[in-house]
Amino acid sequence: MRYLNAICACLLGLLISTSVLAETPSEAQKPLLLELTEVKLSKALPVLQQLEASEGADMMALFKTMLNGDLYYEKETKRLIAALKEQSVTRYSDLFTGAALNELSSNQVKKIKVNNTLRGYLGEAIARMQLNHPDSAVRTDAVRSLFSDLGPNTIELIRTARLNEQSRSVQEVMDVALALYRAAHSDDATERLQAVKDLEGSLEPEVRNQLTKLAENDPSRSVRKAAQIGLDKIDQQAEMYGFINQLFFGLSLGSVLLLAAIGLAITFGVMGVINMAHGEMIMLGAYTTYVVQLMLPNMIEYSLWIAVPLAFMVSGLAGILIERLVIRHLHGRPLETLLATFGISLILQQLVRTVFSPLNRQVATPEWMSGSIEINPLLSLTLNRLYIVAFALLVFMILLIVLKKTSLGLNVRAVSQNRDMAKAMGIRTDRVDAMTFGLGSGIAGIAGVALSQLTNVGPNLGQAYIIDSFMVVVFGGVGNLWGTLVAAFTLGVANKFIEPVTGAVLASILVLVFIILFIQKRPKGLFPQKGRAAE
């Protein structure tokens, strides 16, 4: 029995210590912690600095909770509490013991406020504590986040940590930090020269700034010269990565255009229907994502994958309905179709205004789509854009396979090439029309899911993309999916390369002017359909 007890206690201890909350604050820390609950926002910094320097319990939990804005205190006992927000429920637990405090309600606690000055300090303080973190990636990030503020104390910490550092990559980053400090503060020219040499190869913005300062103001000529050489090397690299970055921005804009236009490429390109309500099909897809997240608040991480097939069905059905009820009766009368679908687009907009309110709806971004991967300090790719580029290409491939390999695809192509002949061969053209329209609209719905991650989900969402969609389809050549692909990426990349020079407003105007001129020269777009079918 006693053994069992001991084991239990052991296990319990293990459990608590893994949650990093085992220690209780020392006597020296207690008054400081109390002061933290009373002090004014503008006077909180010295208290935190004293806490960081104090002996006793690890202040990591306190700093991290405070940085996240989850630090509260109980009004009565002034005990510090961490809040954990899950959906709409907020749960409280004791900051140091981790014990759950279920009986506390929100009016018994008060938040300890943070502002940018404190957040900046907390970030650095955490980084200083993390210099000895077991994970080497965390250590690297910690050192890098200290680059911008290398004081003598911080340098001392890094120097000590460097002695015990095993990982090559962390060692390198630490060396850069130490060299940065030497380059800035050493009185000895040869030491500065050596520091400049040590900094070679690093692309950190702080290194660049330090080198710029040295190249301009250093008393020693050899240091100035070495710094200038290092600077030129960095600038060369920066230029190359800047180009890659812009190319990525262009591809990402292109993928958005592709997603928005590809459904239209089917309805407009293959069927010849000018569908002004195409943008609203995108909007319906985006609202589907919103509804999915509303229904399944605990599954935000998977909501997009659930939303994709649902959005396809919602928009697809809406499309089939529109085709059956309106467009079918206006066959061969493009002007009337245009007006009727424009009317439908207004009806749909007003519908969502009535159902969901005219305010924009919030669609949450799953964790796996937030942030960016940093390839080096000069080049990082944002994850949401990266996923959307891949997703756009995936949708494109699937659509291509559907049109090339399935019987529906065969029928669609037959009807679009020669309606009368297809009819004579026994293809039910009206059914194929409905299916095609549904397919195009469904794809637009999928685009809506992707766009909900990039832009505001509101009643006007569709209108923002309808012009761009027509532009891409006309530019690429009506009725040609590959044309749409090339056109979307060309316009995206062109736009992004013009934008830094002319600004965003002029860039889109220039692209439009270019398309007008291009259509004058080649009225059928980049890849016109050839043969009798094109007549």
Partner 1 sequence: MKIKHLVSGIALTMGASVLSISAMAADTIKVGVLHSLSGTMAISETTLKDTVLMMVEEQNKKGGLLGKQLEAVVVDPASNWPLFAEKTRELLTKDQVDVIFGCWTSVSRKSALPVLEELNGLMFYPVQYEGEESSKNVFYTGAAPNQQAIPAVDYLMNDLGVKRWVLAGTDYVYPRTTNKILEAYLKAKGVAAEDIMINYTPFGHSDWQSIVSDIKSFGAEGKKTAVVSTINGDANIPFYKELGNQGISAEDIPVVAFSVGEEELSGLDTKPLVGHLAAWNYFQSVESDANTAFISKWKAFTGNPDRVTNDPMEATYIGFKMWTQAVEKAGTTDVNAVEQAMIGQETENLTGGMAYMNKNHHLSKPVLIGEIQDDGQLEVVWETEGLVAGDAWSDFLPGSKDLISDWTAPISCGNYNTVTKTCSGQNY
- Smallest distance, Å, CB 155 to partner 1? 18
Residues with Cβ within 8 Å of 443's Cβ and at least 6 positions away in sequence, in order, are 262, 263, 266, 312, 395, 399
Using CB under 8 A as the binding rule, whether residue 113 contacts partner 1 is answered as yes
525 SS3 class: coil
Using CB under 8 A as the binding rule, whether residue 374 contacts partner 1 is answered as yes
Which window, 6-14, 268-276, 380-388, 390-398, contacts partner 1 (CB under 8 A)? 380-388
CB 240 within 8 A of CB 471: no
Rounded to the nearest 5°, which phi and psi values hold at 44?
-80, -25
CB 161 within 8 A of CB 171: no
Q: Token pair 């993309």 is at which residue?
A: 465
Q: Which of 11, 185, 358, 390 binds partner 1 (CB under 8 A)?
A: 358
Q: Token pair 């907009």 is at which residue?
A: 349
**DSSP character at residue 478:** T
Using CB under 8 A as the binding rule, whether residue 371 contacts partner 1 is answered as yes
**Both structure tokens of 155:** 């340098």
CB 457 within 8 A of CB 287: yes
Which window, 28-36, 100-108, 374-382, 439-447, contacts partner 1 (CB under 8 A)? 374-382
- Smallest distance, Å, CB 314 to partner 1? 22
Q: Which is nearer to partner 1, 160 or 370 (CB)?
A: 370
- Smallest distance, Å, CB 46 to partner 1? 17
Using CB under 8 A as the binding rule, whether residue 503 contacts partner 1 is answered as yes
Q: Which of 65, 452, 469, 508 binds partner 1 (CB under 8 A)?
A: 508
H or E, element range at 82: strand 80-86
Using CB under 8 A as the binding rule, whether residue 384 contacts partner 1 is answered as yes
**Both structure tokens of 233:** 């090397």
Say how far apart CA 57 and CA 35 lie, in whole Å: 17
Residues with Cβ within 8 Å of 98's Cβ and at least 6 positions away in sequence, in order, are 16, 19, 21
Using CB under 8 A as the binding rule, whether residue 406 contacts partner 1 is answered as no
Q: Which of 102, 116, 164, 166 binds partner 1 (CB under 8 A)?
A: 116
Q: Which is nearer to partner 1, 213 or 522 (CB)?
A: 213
Using CB under 8 A as the binding rule, whether residue 69 contacts partner 1 is answered as yes
Mark residues 225-254: x for contact with partner 1 by CB under 8 A, - for none: -----------------x--xx--x--xx-
Q: Which of 458, 462, 477, 483 binds partner 1 (CB under 8 A)?
A: 458
H or E, element range at 90: strand 89-94
- Smallest distance, Å, CB 11 to partner 1? 36
- Smallest distance, Å, CB 446 to partner 1? 18
Q: Which is nearer to partner 1, 69 or 98 (CB)?
A: 69
Say how far apart CA 369 and CA 383 lie, in whole Å: 5
CB 36 within 8 A of CB 65: no
- β partners of residue 376: 379
Using CB under 8 A as the binding rule, whether residue 106 contacts partner 1 is answered as no
Say how far apart CA 374 and CA 58 lie, in whole Å: 30
Q: Which of 37, 186, 365, 418 binds partner 1 (CB under 8 A)?
A: 365
Say how far apart CA 481 and CA 265 lie, in whole Å: 7
**DSSP character at residue 362:** P
Q: Which is nearer to partner 1, 255 or 416 (CB)?
A: 255
Q: Which of 125, 174, 193, 256 binds partner 1 (CB under 8 A)?
A: 256
Rounded to the nearest 5°, which phi and psi values hold at 86?
-120, 115
Binding site for partner 1 (CB under 8 A): 41, 69, 113, 115-116, 119-120, 123, 205-206, 208-209, 212-213, 242, 245-246, 249, 252-253, 256, 358-362, 364-365, 370-372, 374, 380, 382-385, 454-456, 458, 460, 464, 496, 499-500, 503-505, 508
